[in-house]
Amino acid sequence: MSIDQIRRDYTQRSLERSDLSANPISQFQQWFDDTLNNNCGTDPTAMVLSTCAENKPTQRVVLLKGIAENGFVFYTNYESQKGKQLAANANCSLHFAWLPQERQITVTGTAERLSIAENTRYFQSRPRASQLGAWASAQSEVIADRKSLEQQLAEVESRFASEEVLPLPPFWGGFRVVPETIEFWQGRSGRLHDRFRYQNTATGWLLERLQP
């Protein structure tokens, strides 16, 4: 089959204004719970993070690690490509593609660093292997080969061998994306999809339907 003939119709659900919560964070939680409880996809927390510095946009998949009224949380190496780009330009977007349910959510907003206390609490809750990996990897930097990476890990394992609790790396932590807009997309037949966008205004959340 030719690639331009690969398609499917979206017929599972519809989305009306009356279906939506007045608060987009509550609405996000409803859709997230639906995805999680119905086993729709292996990585429900996976989201595409888009950043832009020097007019060069970049995307990668990161994992959602917290959701509250003040934003969406993920963790990374602050000296990675995304960390440096967010330091230069805090404007970013998040995209969730829950395709088994024919749903997408797009968030735009600004990223702010979490506190050292928040970073430490989460870092020390991670599996030890993940903590060691964070210490070992100079994320986004060039490396000669896999053997060199494994050697860096071995050095870190030796360094912290006698420590039950690993300290927080000074270069590692979380970002909170404070939302300015949140769009909910529900696939519909004939590409006449249902789209609703919440905008954060001085008087609260403004909800509008968008054309597909």
The dihedrals phi and psi of 28, each to the nearest 5 degrees, come to -60, -45
Q: How far apart are CA 198 and CA 99, in angstroms?
A: 21
- Give dist(CA 197, CA 200) in Å, integer: 10
Active site residue 191: yes
- Max intra-chain CA distance, the chain: 62
Task: Give the chain's radius of gyration (CA, Å).
Answer: 20
3-state percent helix, strand, coil for the chain, nearest multiple of 5: 30, 35, 35
d(CA 67, CA 96): 13
Among all chains, which residue has been given the structure tokens 């089959």?
1
Q: Which of 13, 191, 195, 209 is catalytic?
A: 191
**What amino acid is encoded at 151 in this protein?**
Q
Residues identified as active-site: 191
